[in-house]
Amino acid sequence: MRQPLVIANWKMHGKGAFNQALVEAFLAELKEYRAQCVLCPPFVYLGQLAELLGSSDVMLGAQDCSHIAEGAYTGEVSAQMLRDCGAQWVIVGHSERRQYHQESDALVAAKLSMAQHAGLTPVLCVGETQEQREAGEAESVVKAQLLGALDDLPDLQGLAIAYEPVWAIGTGLSASPEQAQAMHAFIRDVVTDLDATNASALRLLYGGSVKAGNAAELFAQADIDGALVGGASLDADAFAAIVSAA
């Protein structure tokens, strides 16, 4: 049975005092739970969160990494640097990176490889826009993103995939549990064609306006193994409720 996984993506939010209050409140709220839980703050707060999380079971992740190991690349942060800061996970290919930074599938693939080489567990994000869904292209778009990112990886062990319909990110809209399950099942089928050995164990997450109110119904679906949570992860009570629902 796949262990549930819930990841908090703080995006470009946080300040020292706010971070401390949020993490301490979240850890206090979080009682018995069986899900793995990962917090992904902005790069500059990785050290602070590593200290705040201490010996808890909650893990530390980053929101992105460079496709380059090291060198004269001003502003870049390598996967190995993230590992040195205590991160165990890293998000790659988030729709906001694809949209605002024009990240291609080839670049995402290079980041995946670099993350795995550094010993990080990558979370690959895929998803379609509203226009693509309305045009009946959702599955073809997601399949192209999957193949573009994963085709050259030797195996898919130690990887998670987050389906995040772009039209549901930060909009308050959310795919219905049935819509989300259908796409997750499709993703697992695509992954099975790439790596049948590891596909059944691969954890698939839903991301897109996940809230305490819809988490349990989403997690009840056969191929939804957890969530990539944005806005709700900045509220200790709401995020603890989502983790508990998993």
Tell the residue number behind the tokens 């190991």, with chain if given: 69
User: Which residues have a catalytic role annotated?
Assistant: 94, 164
Task: Give dist(CA 8, CA 63) in Å, integer.
Answer: 10
Contact predicate 212/242, CB 8 Å:
yes
Q: What 3 state SS string does the chain have?
A: CCCCEEEEECCCCCCHHHHHHHHHHHHHHCCCCCCEEEEECCHHHHHHHHHHHCCCCCEEEECCCCCCCCCCCCCCCCHHHHHHCCCCEEEECCHHHHHHCCCCHHHHHHHHHHHHHCCCEEEEEECCCHHHHHCCCHHHHHHHHHHHHHCCCCCCCCCEEEECCHHHCCCCCCCCHHHHHHHHHHHHHHHHHHCHHHHCCCEEEECCCCCHHHHHHHHCCCCCCEEEECHHHHCHHHHHHHHHHC
